[in-house]
Structure 1
């Protein structure tokens, strides 16, 4: 199985603060991989370092075998990396369909029909303004809009944070459909039930370093690791 993303020993800084201290990970074609850790562990900063929003001072990043280390964010995005940020970033004054259409890339294999097939709730709300949507619907719109860019790799930063359980279930199902359509995913998420339902492999960050890596089955079986690094016990 080839790698959609390879990250090798990256080190990133905010000013003089050494935030990411030698992170290495990979996402293979067809996989969902989670990046876990307590608040402040460096999860979002790792995503920013991969996407070009934060430039690593050391280490290397490859996408589908092409080194992208040091590229500006727009060029990395053009190369097929899409990041759905925690703040969603939709346009509140535009309708759902306008939000989608302005994001659509001509070369994208995804059409509006495809999007509405995965997100029927968005089709129902297509004439509503982005600002009129619930938090869960805004999250769906943010993910859907990203798909219209035709990503080769999708990164999601806490997509179900603060959402009602019924909406969480809906988004989990949508993420499964996106993976089934051939888009590998790197997922940052605090909800362990979501992570274990979705992911093939798990990495745990602690103080800017990878402290644990295991398959889905290994992670579920390793209660000590979950308790030590995350301070939680899975159901």
Structure 2
């Protein structure tokens, strides 16, 4: 694996009002790597993604993307450089068709075109003339991921992509994310479903009270029942 980090988050502190959410958090991701951010609800996982992409501006620390510190830049400038967040609410335009949702996000320089999206997400090709509001939850998630790819991301961040979806749809989305990973896409994944995380990730971070308290490779994490029980209150059965 390429050990050059495409993204390095160093000692960031982020707030919601007076609430100090991220308290010196540091993570990194290599080109082509998938990392997960794990932790209990309220630990700061989603805030980490929002701080990276500029929706929340860190009050301290750096976000080094391809050698430049982007912390403090407006969110649209960070997005234009190639960091894309697929939010938990998906943000689908319900009155536009699937194809309109996809093409409105397309960037001229993107390596991803409609044919690529439809190859990975055949359901979207079948539903391309349907309105976004007519899709199931799983199809909306596929559309949100496909639309993100059309923006030509170098790092794609996913916030709870399989939450509330039926197991058969979860399996389908995991298979699709594996295809995206195989293209060399760097992915940061926030997800409560540990089985999904361990199928996809190269490394894991566990966040607690706005700090990284544990970091390990996928293999080491799978073998570390103590960490899963201590920090997550679960024990993953293979």
Query: Into which bin does the TM-score normalised by the smaller protein fall?
Result: over 0.9
1:16 positional shift: 1.1
The CA deviation at 1:66 is: 1.6
Aligned equivalent of 1:19, options 18, 21, 38 = 21
Map 1:166-205 to 2 at 5 A. 166-205=168-207
Residue 163 of structure 1 corresponds to which residue in structure 2? 165
Mapped partners of 1:84, 1:78: distance in 2: 15
Please give the secondary structure, in 1, of the residue aligned with 2:212: strand
- Matched position secondary structure for 1:54: coil
| Residues in 2 aligned to 1:19 and 1:135: alpha-carbon distance in whole angstroms | 30
Deviation at 1:193, TM superposition (A): 0.2
Counterpart-to-counterpart distance in 2, 1:181 and 1:64: 19
User: Deviation digits for residues 33-82 of structure 1, max 9, x if unmatched?
Assistant: 00000000010001011000001111100112221111110000001000
Return the offset for 1:2.
1.1
**Matches of 1:4 and 1:181, distance apart in 2:** 16
Which residue is equivalent to 2:89?
Answer: 87
Match of 1:63 in 2: 65
Flag as ranges the 4+ runs of structure 1 deviating above 4 A: none
8 Å CA contact 1:10, 1:56 repeated in 2: yes
Question: Partners in 2 of 1:131 and 1:105 — Cα distance?
Answer: 24
Match of 1:50 among 45, 49, 52: 52
**Which residue number corresponds to residue 101 of structure 1?**
103
Q: Report the counterpart of residue 5 of structure 2 in structure 1.
A: 3
Distance (whole Å) between structure 1 residues aligned to residue 78 and residue 169 of structure 2: 31
1:163-207 per-position Cα deviation (integer Å, ceiling 9, x unaligned): 001110111111111111121000000000000101000000001
Question: How many residues end up aligned between the 2 structures?
Answer: 235
> Which of 126, 129, 145 is the equivalent residue of 1:127?
129
Structure 1 unaligned spans of 5+: none
Alpha-carbon distance between aligned partners in 1 of 2:67 and 2:182, rounded to the nearest angstrom = 22
* Map of 2:140 onto structure 1: 138
Q: TM-score w.r.t. structure 1 length?
A: 0.99
C-alpha RMSD of matched pairs (Å): 0.6
Query: 1: CA distance between counterparts of 2:97 and 2:56?
Result: 31
- C-alpha separation between the residues in 2 aligned to 1:94 and 1:49? 29
Q: Which residue of 117, 120, 133 maps to 1:118?
A: 120
* Matched-pair contact (CA < 8 Å) for 1:156–1:185: yes
The separation in 1 between residues aligned to 2:227 and 2:66, in whole angstroms, is 31
2:228 aligned with 1:221: no
Q: Please say if 1:153 is aligned against 2:155.
A: yes
Q: What is the CA–CA distance in structure 1 between the aligned matches of 2:16 and 2:126, rounded to whole Å?
A: 43
- 1:4 CA drift (Å): 1.5
Q: Report how far residue 88 of structure 1 moved.
A: 0.2
Structure 1 residue 21, shift from structure 2 partner: 0.4
